[in-house]
């Protein structure tokens, strides 16, 4: 398979995550409020034990799909950054932390649903502890989600992937997640405002993921036209050293400018490494944004002796 096919698989994994994630959220009735009695919490898990366990299975598969999509993001961003490792490692770490927090937050509900058939073996204190654990872990999960959205959206704003407008929407959504996460730490009673804020964060994240995945599926990064290359004669080739600009024959004070090819990195000039332009992809050669900036960093100027200049 070529790179375009693998990129489409990566983008499709994002859509798979959205479907599995939304199914895991809506196949069970709304859970009790944070201030619900221990008896009502226990009754909820007893009445919907099988559906809750199915939810956790879907959650596990959604985490797997998200990790695949995360690897795809890392691939796209690393190529967009031309190996400079700017935002791509932060997105990767934030995404892995988000997946880990999703698993941690699913543990208390899974245990309560799994133990529901044991009746009196589950004490009220155990139920309350697990329920409060769920509340706190969801707060950590929401804050981590805000970090992932913020960093990935910053990459979109910088035009490393997808579209800038989606990046700005993700930045706003990240702020909503952070506000909701902070409120969850201090919430001791039901709040319609926080409930609405959490719903916005939940649905907004699913929509953000769906739009990003569909865009990447329709426009794989590997199919993006390459960055315009500097004009070079066909006789020069790629690895034949610097381009020498000779001075006029009648000007003894002129200088020879030795300009290294724009498509070679420093390692290649020293005799190792590989050419950088093809692996960097479109919008990558930030150093070569203008010939002036390029020459100031990579050109070397040397004066000719009068005898050599005369020739």
Whole-number pLDDT of residue 8 = 84
Element (H, E) at 300: strand 300-303
Confidence of residue 93 (pLDDT cuts 50, 70, 90): very high
pLDDT of residue 7 exceeding 50, the answer is: yes
Whole-number pLDDT of residue 171 = 94
pLDDT of residue 224 exceeding 70, the answer is: no
The C-alpha atoms of residue 273 and residue 239 are separated, in whole angstroms, by 12
Confidence of residue 147 (pLDDT cuts 50, 70, 90): very high
pLDDT of residue 113 exceeding 80, the answer is: yes
The tokens of 201 are what? 């964060």
Question: What secondary structure does DSSP assign to 100-120, as a single string?
Answer: HHHHHHHHHHHHHHHTGGGGG
The C-alpha atoms of residue 267 and residue 274 are separated, in whole angstroms, by 7
Q: Is 259 helix (H, G, I), strand (E, B) or coil?
A: strand
Kindly tell me the sign of the dihedral angle through the C-alpha atoms of 45, 51, 52, 53. Answer: positive
Whole-number pLDDT of residue 74 = 87
Question: What secondary structure does DSSP assign to 200-244, as a single string?
Answer: HHHHHHHHHHHHHHHHHHHS-GGGSPPPPPPP--TTT-SSS-PEE
Higher pLDDT, 114 or 298: 114
Higher pLDDT, 229 or 153: 153
Whole-number pLDDT of residue 256 = 45
Give the tens place of pLDDT for each residue, 9-48.
888 999 999 999 999 988 988 888 888 888 898 889 888 8
User: For the CA atoms of 215, 221, 225, 230, what is the dihedral angle to 10 degrees?
Assistant: 140
User: Which residues, in sequence order, are CB contacts of 82 under 8 Å at separation 6+?
Assistant: 276, 279, 280, 281, 284, 285, 286
Q: What's the rounded mean pLDDT across residues 186-210?
A: 90
Give the tens place of pLDDT for each residue, 46-80.
888 999 999 999 999 999 999 999 998 888 888 77
In 3D, which of 223, 212, 226 has the Cα closest to residue 165? 212
Of 54-58, 91-95, 251-255, the least confident:
251-255
Using left for φ > 0, alpha for ψ between -120 and 50, and beta otherwise, residue 283 falls in: left
Whole-number pLDDT of residue 83 = 67
Average pLDDT, the chain: 76
DSSP assignment, residue 121? G
pLDDT of residue 157 exceeding 50, the answer is: yes
Whole-number pLDDT of residue 250 = 54
């Amino acid at each position: 398979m070529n790179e375009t096919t693998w990129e489409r698989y990566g983008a499709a994994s994002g859509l798979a995550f959205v479907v599995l994630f939304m199914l895991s959220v809506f196949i069970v009735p709304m859970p009790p409020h944070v201030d619900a009695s221990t008896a009502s919490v226990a009754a909820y898990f007893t009445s919907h034990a099988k559906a809750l366990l199915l939810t956790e299975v879907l959650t596990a598969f959604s985490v797997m799909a998200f990790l695949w999509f995360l690897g795809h993001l890392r691939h796209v961003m690393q190529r967009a950054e031309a190996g400079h490792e700017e935002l791509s490692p932060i997105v990767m770490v934030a995404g892995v932390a988000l997946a880990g927090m999703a698993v941690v937050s699913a543990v208390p509900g899974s245990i309560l649903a799994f133990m529901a058939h044991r009746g009196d073996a589950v004490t009220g204190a155990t139920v309350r502890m697990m329920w409060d654990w769920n509340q706190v872990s969801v707060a950590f999960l929401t804050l981590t989600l805000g970090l992932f959205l913020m960093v990935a959206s910053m990459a979109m704003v910088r035009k490393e992937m997808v579209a800038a407008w989606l990046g700005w929407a993700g930045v706003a959504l990240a702020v909503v997640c952070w506000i909701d996460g902070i409120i969850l730490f201090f919430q001791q009673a039901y709040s319609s405002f926080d409930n609405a804020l959490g719903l916005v964060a939940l649905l907004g994240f699913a929509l953000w993921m769906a739009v990003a995945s569909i865009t990447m599926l329709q426009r794989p990064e590997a199919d993006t036209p390459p960055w315009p290359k500097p004009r070079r004669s066909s006789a020069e080739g790629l690895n034949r050293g610097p381009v020498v600009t000779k001075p006029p024959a009648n000007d003894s004070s002129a200088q020879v400018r030795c300009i290294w090819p724009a498509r070679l990195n420093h390692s290649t000039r020293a005799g190792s490494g590989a050419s950088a332009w093809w692996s960097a992809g479109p919008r990558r050669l930030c150093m070569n944004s203008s010939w002036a900036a390029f020459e100031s960093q990579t050109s070397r100027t040397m004066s000719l002796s009068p005898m050599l200049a005369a020739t």
